Structure formats: C-alpha cells, structure tokens
Structure 1
Amino acid sequence: MAQEATDSPKPLLLSDEEKRVLELHDRLQQLQLEIALLTAQKNYVPSTTASSSEEGRAIKAAQKELQDSRARYVLRNEAVESVVMANPIMQAVHGGANASPIERDLLPALEQRDAASVTLAKQSTELRALLDKLAEVEGRSLRLGRENADLAAEVLRLAGEANRRNNGTGEPWADADPDLAAEIVELEAQVRASRKRWRVVKGTASGFVAGSGVDWARDAELRDIVLDEEDDEI
C-alpha cells in the first residue's frame, strides 16, 4: 500500500445475514473440534498390563499424534480462510466494478494490516540484531571473567609461594625474592587491566540493551544485564 493507515478503520457494516454467517462459521469450527475430542476420548482404551517403558512410548506416540492432528487442523482452517478471503481482498485492493460496499470498506483494514506487518517485521529484525549483539558481548564478558579468575588464581599461588619462602615471617616479597615480587606485581597489573576491560564490556552490554528500545524490564535476563551491580570479585 502506498499510504499506511494511521487511524483505526471504522467497523465493517455487516448485515444481519452476514453476521449470522460468520457466527455459524465460528460455531461450525467449534463443533468440529468438540467432535474430534469426543471421538478421541471414545476410542481411548487405557492399558492395564503395559510396563512403564511401554507407557512412556505410548505417551510419546500420543503426543506426536496430537501435534500432527493439531497441525492438520490449523492448516485446513487457514487454507479455507485464505480461499474465502481471497476474492473480497482482491475486490477491495483493485476496486473492482463488482465490489460490494463492505468489500470496499475492507481497504482501510487491509492497509492497517499491511502497516502492522511491516512494523512487526522491522521490530523482529531489530530484535534479532540485538540478540546477536548481546550474545557476542556476553561471550566476551565470559572470556574476560575466566581470564580474571585465572589471573587471580595465579596471583594467589605466587603469594602463597612467596609466603612459604618467607617462612611465614611476613617480610616484604621483594626482600625474600625480588624476581617473584616483580612477577606478582605484573600479574596484579594484568588482573586490574582485565577487570577494567570486563567492566567496559559489561557497561557496553548494559547501555546497548537499555538504549535498544526493547522492553528489557519484562525479561529477567535482559533486566539482570542492565541492573546487575558490578562484581569486584570477578
């Protein structure tokens, strides 16, 4: 459509006969579903001798059959609805000479539907890009977290070794082993740098999610990313 519908289309003016047809169509679908359920209940014969493993297989088979039946039911209804709607939509869009007033009234609703479809597709694309970026940032955050943990463990190991060389006297590391002290100082600097990088990555992820327009407050995982406090122990 060249022009998107911004206002809600006016309600379709249906005759009593048209309303009755729609009500009967909905009732027919409901009755078909109820008949299918009653038939399934009537044909069900519970087994009294089956083992637990056989019951498990039977349950899985029944679940699969239910999914297949539901798929066929939905597909059939969608096919019927598509066929029924095709001609009125064509008449509304192309303004056929034989179009009825109600078919012409369909045009604003079709424009609104198309505009909503475009908006939904755009939002889905943006959400997919956001999730991909979030996964990338989370991966970097995990790698930096592991790096921090490894460096901290190495610092603790070297500190313990220095303490053993000092025989527990508490003397400065430089007095006991200058080379070991220098290595510890270097590792501590690496830990601080790695922790700083982790905080930058975490802040980037938080800002990216908060500024994306996604309703992160309703998603526990996204909410933790935005609101989670920094962990100085990482």
Structure 2
Amino acid sequence: MTQDVDMADVDVAPADDLAGTVLLSADEEHVLELYDKLQELQLQVAMLRARQAYRPPHTTQATVEDVKEAQDQLLDARAAYVLRNSAVANVMAVNPILRAVHNSTHASPIERDLLPHVEERDSASVAVSKQSAELRGILDQLASTEAESLRFSRQNVELAAEVISLAQEANRAKEGDFDSPRAKQERESLERDLKRSRQKWKIIKGTASAIVAGSGVDWVRDPELREVVLDPE
C-alpha cells in the first residue's frame, strides 16, 4: 500500500547548498569530535603540568622583570602549541586533499567531496594575494606622496625665511626707516608668517614620518623616505 505525498510538504535543499556541503557519516563525525576532545584534554593536561611545575618567586610582589619573563614564556608556549596543532592538521589533510585533487581511484566519497572546497580555498588565497599586492602598491604611492608633500613644505619654509632675510636687508638699507612703525609692522608680519610656516612644517613632517614608518614600506633602503622618517627638522 502506497501513501500519496504532497510535493509541497517536502523540503528540498537547493543544489548549491548540497554541492557546498561536505556530507559526513556518523563514524566520521564521531572521529572529528574525538579529535577535538583529544586536543582539549591535551591542553588541560599541559596547563596542569605547568601549574605543578610553577615555583613562585621568593619576593611577595612580582617585579617588572618577572612579569616580562612570564609573558615571554606564555608567548613561546602558545606559539609552540599553535605550531604543533597546525603541523598535525596539515599532515592529516595532505593525503585526502591529494586524492581529491588528482581524482584517485582510492579516494573515498568524502575525499571526493573535498575538491570543490579545495578549489574555493585556492581561489580565496589567490584573491588575498592579489589584494595584498594592491595594498602594498597603494602604501608605496602614499609614502611617495607624503615624501613629495614634505619636500614642498620644506621649500615653503626656506622661501619664507629667505623673504624675511631680504626684507630685513631692505630695512637696513633704509637708514631712517628701519625703526619706523611701518617697517616694524612688516617685520612682525613676516615673522608671524615664518612661525606659522614652521609650525605647519613640523605637523606635516610628524604626520608623514608616522605614515611612512607605520606603512610597512622598506623606508630604510630609500634615501628620500629615510630622510622623511629620521630627519629631525
């Protein structure tokens, strides 16, 4: 005896969802759960051993050197832990990926299902690499622009100083007008302009130096960029 089933009541997953989902058997899911549990237990055991091996310092209060040493040890331990887990995961993933990519006759269904995900991962890696190269080019252009802006600002300061020097010479040439109110007013105006130019120059210099130093550009090998970062004036 058959039972009629309304097709509207049946949930059918989209084809894209089925293609992008790795179907795991109950045994495979159980193995993955056990592997995660094993990593968690190993981490807990390592923490317990570290606590047992810890010997507090003789002083009641930790010094700056003690804190720094503990931080370094923590970073070393974390790096070793992450590196080990990454190496184990990579080793375990090599054979299934190779079988999926080369369509091995010995590949299991789950290994064949890995191929779309491997291709997607490779495409993402290429895209990230391309974006990183574009970002590097933009940072290089930004550093060059900042260096050029810095050079123009320096020229403005030098020109302002030259204008003041010429004005002072002109005032000295006029024997009776050097101490006149008009000459004094002109000198004060030029000195204010020079002061503003120097302040603007220092702000631009500091900003450009910070941008170049923090951009990741190899400014040490570039004489112009090195001058931007290291030149005190």
**TM-score of the pair, normalised by structure 2:** 0.62
Out of 14, 24, 43, which is 2:24 matched to?
14
How far apart are residue 87 of structure 1 and its match? 1.1
Map of 2:101 onto structure 1: 93
- The residue aligned with 2:44 is 34
Equivalent position amino acid for 2:72 in 1: K
Alignment counterpart, residue 141 of structure 1, candidates 143, 149, 157: 149
98, 111, 114: which one aligns with 1:103: 111
* Counterpart-to-counterpart distance in 2, 1:21 and 1:168: 95
Instruction: Flag the 1:42–1:146 CA change in 2: closer, same or farther, 3 A.
Output: farther
Q: Look up the equivalent residue of 1:56 and give its one-letter code.
A: V
Q: What TM-score, normalized by structure 1, do the two folds share?
A: 0.62
- The structure-2 alpha-carbon separation of the partners of 1:57 and 1:50, relative to structure 1 and needing over 3 Å to count, comes to farther
Of 79-88 and 38-47, deviating more is 38-47
Rg larger for = 2
Retained in 2: the 8 A contact 1:89–1:103? yes
Structure of higher RCO (CA pairs closer than 8 Å, 6+ residues apart): 1
Out of 22, 34, 37, which is 1:24 matched to? Answer: 34
Between stretches 67-76 and 56-65, larger displacement belongs to: 56-65
Instruction: Measure how far apart 1:163 and its partner are.
Output: 5.1
Matched, 1:49 2:72: no
For residues 148 and 100 of structure 1, do their structure 2 counterparts lie closer, same or farther at Cα, with a shift above 3 Å needed? same
| Counterpart residue number, 2:66 | 58
1: distance between equivalents of 2:35 and 2:153? 59
Query: Is 1:70 matched with 2:78?
Result: yes
Partner-residue secondary structure (3-state), 1:11: coil
Alignment of 1:62-211 (within 5 A): 62-159=70-167, 162=170, 165=174, 166=177, 167-170=179-182
Alignment gaps of 5+ in structure 2: 1-15, 184-189, 191-196, 198-203, 205-233
Alpha carbons of structure 1 residues 18 and 146: separation in structure 2 relative to 1, 3 Å: same
Name the aligned partner's letter for residue 61 of structure 1.
E
Deviations 1:83-122 (A, max 9, x none): 1111111110111111111111111001100101111111
Instruction: Name the aligned partner's letter for residue 168 of structure 1.
Output: S
Moved over 3 A (4+): 156-165
SS at match of 2:57: coil
Structure 1 gap ranges (5+):
1-6, 172-183, 185-190, 192-197, 199-234
Displacement after TM superposition at 1:51 (Å): 8.4
- Name the amino acid aligned to 1:118: V
Work out the CA distance in 2 between the residues paired with 1:35 and 1:159.
80
What residue is the counterpart of 1:226 in the other structure? none
Q: Measure, in 2, the Cα distance between the counterparts of 1:116 and 1:101.
A: 24
**For residue 16 of structure 1, what is the amino acid of its counterpart?**
A
Deviation at 1:48, TM superposition (A): 4.1
Count residues with an aligned counterpart: 173
